[in-house]
Chains A and B, each alone.
Chain A
Amino acid sequence: MNLTRWPEVKSTYFDAAALSEAERPRFLVNLSERDPELAEIVKGLLSDSAKDGLEISKPCWGEGDPEPARTLPDGHLLGGRFEITNCLGTGGAGEVYRAFDRERREFVAAKLLHLERLPNDAAERLLRNEVHTAQKVNHRNVCRLYEFFPSRENQRPFITMELLAGETLADRLKRAGRFSITEAEPIVKQMLDGLESAHREDVQHRDFKASNIMLAEDSRVVVMDFGLACEVREGEDLGHTISLNKFAGTLAYMAPEQILGQQASVQSDIHALGVVLFEMLTGARRFDGATPMETASRRLNEEAPEPRVDGKPVNRKWAAAIRACLEKDPAKRPASIAALREIFRHGGPIRIPYRKLAVITGFVAACCLVGAGIQIVNQREAAAEARRTAMDSFMRGSKLLEEFSLPAELAAVPHFETAIKADPHFAMAMASLAEVRLLLSRSDSGKANEHLQQAKSWAARAIEIDPNLAEGHVVMAGLHQSDWNWRESEASYLRALQLKPRMAKAHRWYAGLVLQFGRFDDGMRHMRQAMELDPDDRSMPGTVGLYYFLAGRYQEALTILEPAVRDLDTVSRSDGSRHNLAQVYAYLGSTTRGEESKAYFAKARRQAEVMLAMETRGNKPKFSLASQILAHVHLLQGSRELAAPHVKKVMDAYATGHAPAMLVAFLYAARNENAEAVRVLNKGVSDHDPSLLYIHVIPFFLELRKDPRFQEVIHRMALYPHFHFDVALRIFGWASSSISIGV
């Protein structure tokens, strides 16, 4: 073929191809008279393209993929004891046979792994694991495993298990389509029982899917293939080997955290369960694309669709359960199977996420979600309209909270108020209103008391309506903290965490409380949990960075704060993390020497200058954080002259009641004026100044702490350094014997 003529060839080919069979010969004859070479090439291409040949209009993988071959023929005597009668199935990872146990005179299922796909002794370890794990779970809805047979000469390792007659849920769906609620109910009940029994033994399935659920002939529903994945630790070669072979087809069930390669949990199983429920009711998989690529693309770009049958939404409670299971954030999914059952029963309680709310629109969603706080009993139009208004306002308010700015928080208040007015039993909206008021009490200077009063009353009301609303208890905990009722605060946090163990905010806030008591290990643990549970929380880095600073882990604080500050949206975001970063630099400057010290101080000043620029751009604040940092840095560097104008600004603000006591005390401490520092702090204690929360642990007071007058301040705050067992007792009802050890 003459490649230099390709553009011509291509366009002529398309001209010819567009013609009908009857017209084409005439076209080619004319062409051949004009340009014989071109005509020859085009003719050749046309005839080639008409032939049956290479198939390129379909993917080279997929349907044409050979099924893995079975490796044992019928009649083979496995391990000298099990006579293979037929192959029940082969898959990516292994193969399962029906076999007659000559010793016990009964039929069993025997499972072998494809050895060649596993390095070294991996198959043996996997199978041993599976038996070990599955034997921990003894439940009629979980497939029973009998024995493990290790590899011997000329013998691969294998396991035997109970032989189940029936069809898998996947086969049933393929054969007869979707289930009605009545049909689905008894099956789902057994599925939940089986999964719950495993979770109770700390066993996660990790590969829960319709093809792993057997609908046995005796109406028993059995969850199978338990444990193959569940004891495989993240990051281990084995895990990858398994996923490589098992992956095909399971993307649809994988939870977002599994896709991201993060630690799977009970909530990952619950996600997969949600996909199965969706599939059972609608007969289709959620995000079902025509190809894996489309499925992947839809999962990346689209929100999960509501389950619908013939265009109509499914049963409200089921829809609520499915939606809760399919939450992208594992912390927002039901904490356990028991919690999921509650949703099936009542359509709630569920947490309404702040994020992604914008996409949840329409009445169906409203019905599902409102179940959290309000009991929908009345289906009349007026009530429906009120619910719509309530939900709509609630979502607007929640959306605003995502902005993390004072104006947005102020604007969110009326939305939550409207929501509560439209629905006087909307506990979640009350908790949100309480939370935003609590946030405002710290940032809307001059109106702290008004906000706090409002916050308390709404938080109390929310808990009164729904005593199990974790969000209500978290806000209440924060309020107790701001009131310096430390014990009440800890009790409320623990209550919230008991109700919702995977609530990132509760962990984050609680970490702050225990850190202020100096319980660093405890604090770090909760902080790490918060970070794992909600890595995307934009308010996280600022707080976590501060916590590291308080815990004396300065480099880790920098690791968190530096990138966070780099990413700061300088327009809408408040500069909490920048302030924290500047403080860390200032402290490091004061504890290092020479060039290193100078460099840290310079970095602190640079951050302060950015803050200053932002402060002068917007409405001038009554207290300038930038001035405080500049004053502090200059004082720590020993130059009172340079500090003077900034110190004056801070002191002026303090005189009018706008400067946080602790930040003022820093300046006195830096000038070694301990008496003044203590005076300011004592005044702060009397005012319950929230800036004093971390007084016990803040590194800047390491010197001042030696002063007995400072110890007196701490004493007045009644901070308690150890976990209080009376709190634990009240929360968990622990027996006294179990807590006496080590007290």
Chain B
Amino acid sequence: MPDENVEITAYLRRLRDGDSTAEDDLANAVYGRMREMSHALMRANPGHPSVRPTALVNEVLLELMRLRTVEWNDRIHFYRAASRLMRRRLIDYIRHSNTKRRPPHEMRTDLDDGDLDRLAAVHPNRFEEIYAVHEALDKLGELDPPLAELVEMVYFGGVTIAAVAELRGVSTKTVLRHLDLARAVLEKFLSPKCPAASNSLAYPFDRK
């Protein structure tokens, strides 16, 4: 899809030139392609959030690395764009996966009831926490865009504290202090709406 590539290159140039509105366009453009593929997958297997988050974010990186017409001469722009896209990738996946926690039908076909009992262990669903943070982060973004961007880069992009500190030219202590504040605010946004407030242990972010 050459036209699409041209489009993406243009968004990245805008981003590089400091036009932050390009980020959304970029996410839509790069991510649109992946979304199509993953929807096709999910249509074939409705109801299975079967892909690990790591696989999803790695896929974003791979897509970005394929855009070789783009010169990523500024690391922070690469990190920012990638983090934004990783966040979208995860959230979109969660939205479409219509999470159910029981083993999918296909997996059970060769198991009897005894087998199923022995396989009772169910992994905690990380996706629910991720989705809640995503919603709270939108609100933080309205309040304090740079702070939200920091969280996006660390929590969704997986950029290390040390790397953020280096990129922003501050100490790691400063970065951590900002994250502490962000976390305090996020929890405020999180709590009234989330089941966590009702002390349900089902939600991993309820650790108070």
Contact residues of A with B, CB < 8 Å?
1, 3, 6, 10, 13-14, 17-18, 44-46, 48-54, 56-62, 64-66, 68-74, 76, 78, 92, 114-120, 154-156, 237, 240-241, 244-245, 247-248, 251, 259-261, 290-294, 296-297, 299-301
Chain A residues closer than 8 Å to B58, beta-carbon distance: 247-248, 251, 292
Chain A residues closer than 8 Å to B111, beta-carbon distance: 71-73, 76
Contact A290 B155 (CB under 8 A): no
- Give the residues from 66 to 80 in chain B that come closer than 8 angstroms, CB to CB, to chain A: 66, 68, 72-73, 75, 78-79
User: Cβ of B202 < 8 Å from any Cβ of A?
Assistant: no
Chain A's closest residue to B147 (CB) is: A10
CA distance A117 to B56 in the complex (A): 13
Among B124, B133, B160: residue with most chain A CB under 10 A: B160
Chain B residues closer than 8 Å to A69, beta-carbon distance: 119, 121-123
Contact residues of B with A, CB < 8 Å?
37-38, 40-41, 44-45, 48, 50-59, 61-62, 64-66, 68, 72-73, 75, 78-79, 82-83, 90, 103-104, 106-107, 109-111, 115, 118-119, 121-124, 126, 129-130, 133, 143-144, 147, 151, 154-163, 176-177, 179-188, 190, 205, 207-208
Chain A's closest residue to B190 (CB) is: A54
Contact B52 A248 (CB under 8 A): yes
CA distance A116 to B118 in the complex (A): 20
Q: Give 15 pairs: A residue, B residue, CB < 8 Å, sorted on A.
A: A48-B183, A48-B184, A49-B183, A59-B154, A65-B126, A71-B103, A115-B104, A116-B50, A117-B50, A237-B40, A244-B51, A259-B65, A260-B68, A293-B82, A297-B72
Contact A300 B78 (CB under 8 A): yes
> Whole-angstrom distance from the CB of A182 to the nearest CB of chain B?
36
Contact B55 A244 (CB under 8 A): yes
Chain B residues closer than 8 Å to A13, beta-carbon distance: 181
Chain A's closest residue to B118 (CB) is: A73
Contact B190 A45 (CB under 8 A): no
Contact B45 A117 (CB under 8 A): yes
Chain B residues closer than 8 Å to A58, beta-carbon distance: 154-155
A66-B52 CB under 8 A given contacts A56-B179, A244-B59, A296-B64? yes
> Whole-angstrom distance from the CB of B113 to the nearest CB of chain A?
12
Chain B residues closer than 8 Å to A52, beta-carbon distance: 207-208
CA distance A49 to B64 in the complex (A): 35
Contact B208 A51 (CB under 8 A): yes
Chain A's closest residue to B182 (CB) is: A56
Contact B115 A73 (CB under 8 A): yes
Contact A156 B106 (CB under 8 A): yes
CA distance A65 to B126 in the complex (A): 7
Chain B residues closer than 8 Å to A244, beta-carbon distance: 37-38, 41, 51, 55, 59
A155-B205 CB under 8 A given contacts A45-B185, A62-B54, A290-B160? no
Q: Is the interface of B mostly helix, strand, loop or mixed?
A: helix
> Whole-angstrom distance from the CB of B40 to the nearest CB of chain A?
7
Q: Contact partner of A251 among B61, B181, B184, B208, CB < 8 A?
A: B61
What 3 A-B pairs are tightest by C-beta distance, nearest first? A59-B158, A61-B53, A66-B123
Chain B residues closer than 8 Å to A117, beta-carbon distance: 41, 45, 48, 50-51
Q: Contact partner of A60 among B45, B107, B143, B155, CB < 8 A?
A: B155
Contact A53 B44 (CB under 8 A): no
Q: Contact partner of B107 among A116, A240, A292, CB < 8 A?
A: A116
Contact A300 B106 (CB under 8 A): no
Contact A299 B65 (CB under 8 A): yes
Chain A's closest residue to B116 (CB) is: A73
> Whole-angstrom distance from the CB of A233 to the nearest CB of chain B?
16
Q: Contact partner of A57 among B144, B154, B163, CB < 8 A?
A: B154
Contact B107 A71 (CB under 8 A): yes
Among A1, A51, A292, A301: residue with most chain B CB under 10 A: A292
CA distance A114 to B176 in the complex (A): 40
Chain A residues closer than 8 Å to B160, beta-carbon distance: 290-291, 294
Q: Contact partner of A297 among B44, B79, B161, B180, CB < 8 A?
A: B79
CA distance A92 to B130 in the complex (A): 21
Q: Contact partner of A54 among B82, B123, B161, B183, CB < 8 A?
A: B183
> Whole-angstrom distance from the CB of B35 to the nearest CB of chain A?
13
Chain B residues closer than 8 Å to A300, beta-carbon distance: 65, 72, 78
CA distance A48 to B181 in the complex (A): 9
Chain B residues closer than 8 Å to A78, beta-carbon distance: 110
CA distance A292 to B78 in the complex (A): 13
Among A14, A17, A61, A73: residue with most chain B CB under 10 A: A61
Chain A residues closer than 8 Å to B54, beta-carbon distance: 61-62, 65, 248, 292
A259-B126 CB under 8 A given contacts A60-B90, A290-B163? no
Chain A residues closer than 8 Å to B41, beta-carbon distance: 117, 119, 241, 244
Contact A56 B52 (CB under 8 A): no
CA distance A290 to B164 in the complex (A): 12
Contact B109 A60 (CB under 8 A): no
CA distance A670 to B168 in the complex (A): 67
Contact B65 A296 (CB under 8 A): yes
Contact B44 A296 (CB under 8 A): no
A14-B65 CB under 8 A given contacts A64-B126, A117-B51, A297-B72? no
A60-B110 CB under 8 A given contacts A53-B207, A54-B207, A240-B37? no
CA distance A78 to B186 in the complex (A): 49
Contact A291 B159 (CB under 8 A): yes
